[in-house]
Amino acid sequence: MTTQPPATVHTFTQRLSPTPRGARLARHLALNQLHAWGIPHDSDTSDTVAAIVAELAANAVTHGRVPGRDFELRLSLVTGSVRIEVTDTRSGPRPPGPGAVRQPEALADSGRGLVIVEALADRWEVLDREPPPGKTIRAEVDVPPWSAHFHGAPSVR
């Protein structure tokens, strides 16, 4: 019987204020955490994760804001990918999931966040928040096998 090495999971979680400043901070924290995990700034993976975090955090601030309640950013480095989760506490209709996101009108001022997430993420989904109320948008970005070779990086493959 061949034994597989255990999957290493590294997790970072931060609650942030539902403000534009909180959304910007989410992106900066994500970039710094990726760097700490051995995924360098300005790499394709880092840039992709930063764009997804920025869009999901902006959506949490714009569409998921509940006065007095924070939103949460969770990053996980799992075998082969970076998982991004942004959770808010707003109840009501859920956003469209993968394959159901519509392109906004050409001159529309908004509506591109999930279009960008769908284009950049290798996988993504919309989940009910546990415990309710609210929702979590989870996206994953595959990590190239070369990233495990950076100094201090955990094994990702």
pLDDT at 152: 47
pLDDT at 147: 56
> 């930063």: which residue's tokens?
50
How far apart CA 42 and CA 93 sit, in angstroms, is 36
pLDDT at 27: 98
pLDDT, tens digit only, all 157 positions of the chain: 555 555 567 999 999 999 999 999 999 999 999 999 999 999 999 999 999 999 999 999 998 888 889 999 999 999 899 999 999 999 888 888 888 788 766 665 656 779 999 999 999 999 999 888 999 999 999 998 865 545 444 444 4
How far apart CA 115 and CA 106 sit, in angstroms, is 13
pLDDT at 7: 59
pLDDT at 155: 44
pLDDT at 77: 95
Of the candidates 91, 98, 27, the one whose C-alpha atom is nearest the C-alpha of residue 58 is: 27
pLDDT at 3: 58
pLDDT at 108: 57
Q: Is 117 exposed, middle or buried (0-12, 13-18, 19+ CB in 10 A)?
A: buried
